[in-house]
Structure 1
Amino acid sequence: MTTDFDTAVAALRVPGMGTETIAPFLANLVDITRPRRVLEVGMGYTTPFLAAALDRTSRRVRQESVALAAKTRSYLSSETPLDDAWLRAEPPLAAPASYLEPYRPVFVAVDDGSIAESSARQVAQVLDDLGLTHQVTIVDAPLRACDAALPPDFEPIDLAWVDAWDCLYFLDHFLDRINPEGGVAVLHYLMTYPEGEAILRYLAGLQRSRPGELEILNLLEPHKLRQNSVTMIRRTSGRPPRYAGPGGRIRYDGDLIDDARTQAGQAHPTDKEQERTK
């Protein structure tokens, strides 16, 4: 991210909110997980980081899709079986199934602006200054009243960032909307105050009652007095990796070759799309 980005988002930084390191952390989560539906509850400093990461990832996915199809077609045209050399060629290690559908992420940010010290009301202007307005749908409502304003196809949610008091409501009403195939919810600052610790105990009970469905990790920023933790919840169905063989080897037949053929046949970008990837 450029200095211009840093300058623009500085207007949203509220020292007492404790998101200085969380914002780039969330951006990295986007880079890693490539979510298609992202929910933010509680706008502010983190919002443009998420939006910029989704915009950047969209461009990267388009570039990779074209390159993956090109390297696959060279194998298919010569009737050469896919192999480790194909796997390592640019884009290295790319899984064809991830590129079968266009990557057009939807990002919804929910906030009613009721917290006086929050920078939520300034977010729209910063997004406009950065050219990221198109990347975010802002819902001016509390979490408990946002359902009607969410896009009709906004499920399953692949990444949720919850920086609000309504964490318990989120767990009761949104946890089952998180993608069971690895969707992640990140909750802020539960570890170091009694109400937050009660929510963690509640979450631990959910995990025990739903064995194999929830992975939970708490990360503490020990140098801070408050606003100093994130709780990460990952939903999982426990299904094995699509192409994996024993010992970390890849099976170059079956689903992999079928998906590779399909992806290679689909990835014919228009001139406009090619221009956007540059």
Structure 2
Amino acid sequence: MTERTPRPGREAGGHLTGFDAAADRLRVPGMGTEAVAPLLADLVRLTRPRRVLEVGMGYTTAFLAAALRETEDRAREEAVALAAKTRSHLASGSPLDDAWLTAEPPLAAPASHLEPYRPELVAVDDLSNAASSARRVGDVLADLGLADRVTIVDATLRECRDRLPPGFAPIDLAWVDAWDCLYFIDHFLDLINPDGGLLVLHYLMTYPEGEAILRYLAGLQRARPGELEILNLLEPHKLAQNSVTVVRRAGGRRPAHTGAGGRVRYDGGLHAAAVAQMEQTPAE
């Protein structure tokens, strides 16, 4: 397994290098996504979304595209390593057990590798905001070798639903950095994956219209008990563009192979999924 690709960071003297230098061409002072962009990248690594929607292109686009490419590469390597450890374990005559579970790649779920991980990123922007860096996104993605990772929809939020690619549902992660968050909630929430899909909304906590949207979300949460989990994160050191709201559509599904005390059950479906994943993955 390869280690997570480090961002090159800064050379001596504070000069940006590599990914940071390219992405910095998209950073606009006052847009407030310096901390949000790497947070979104880590959400990709954590949840491995297959369909990602961004509304409002800019600094975050490069982070999302790079994280999706990195995660796809990692998932491919993980699938090969998982099949190899299952093959080795069963060849020795041992059943699946804790030694199998914790061998590299540790804790990997075979069922998640039955379908190759090939994520899609769709970015929506009509390029009308002169203050945005959206018009530079294409050039930066090309320089990073990421142009083929993003499908750009040239439209406003209110025009884009029918222009999303065929089959682009359910959406596993949506990042909305646009003023019209209430419209998104009313017209796109049903597209978010009901089994744990995430909606991340920028900057609602510290101005009256945003606070009204938060009250609206709280009302939806009460009206649909058990379906929506809501977390507000404030950047208290900033005056504006200083929060994200994360809405999770909670399917309430417990991992299928976990028993009392968090113990993994190795019989039945888990064994069958491990064998199926092993058989469909060529040995290297």
TM-score band w.r.t. shorter chain:
over 0.9
1:226 corresponding residue in structure 2: 240
Q: Does 1:262 align with 2:271?
A: no
2:203 corresponding residue in structure 1: 189
- What does 1:55-204 correspond to in 2, within 5 Å? 55-204=69-218
Shift of 1:225: 0.4
SS of equivalent residue, structure 2 residue 196:
strand
Which aligned segments of 4 or more residues in structure 1 are displaced greater than 3 angstroms? Answer: none
Q: Counterpart amino acid of 2:33?
A: T
Shift of 1:4: 1.1
Q: Counterpart amino acid of 1:47?
A: T
Q: Counterpart amino acid of 1:265?
A: E
Please give the TM-score of this superposition, normalised by the length of structure 2.
Answer: 0.93
Segments of structure 2 that go 5 or more residues without pairing to the other structure are 1-6, 9-16
Q: Counterpart amino acid of 1:184?
A: L
Tell me, in whole angstroms, the C-alpha distance in 2 between the residues paired with 1:156 and 1:59.
23
Q: Deviations over 1:6-53 (max 9, x none)?
A: 111111100110000100010000010000000000000000000000
Tell me, in whole angstroms, the C-alpha distance in 2 between the residues paired with 1:145 and 1:115.
16
How large is the RMSD of aligned CA atoms in angstroms? 1.0
Shift of 1:158: 0.4
2:250 to 231, 236, 242: 236
Please give the TM-score of this superposition, normalised by the length of structure 1.
Answer: 0.95
2:230 corresponding residue in structure 1: 216
Tell me, in whole angstroms, the C-alpha distance in 1 between the residues paired with 2:255 and 2:228.
17
Name the % identity: 72
Q: Which has the higher helix share?
A: 1
Q: Counterpart amino acid of 2:132?
A: S
Query: How many equivalent pairs are there?
Result: 270
1:11 to 14, 17, 25: 25
Q: Counterpart amino acid of 1:21?
A: A
Tell me, in whole angstroms, the C-alpha distance in 1 between the residues paired with 2:217 and 2:147.
35
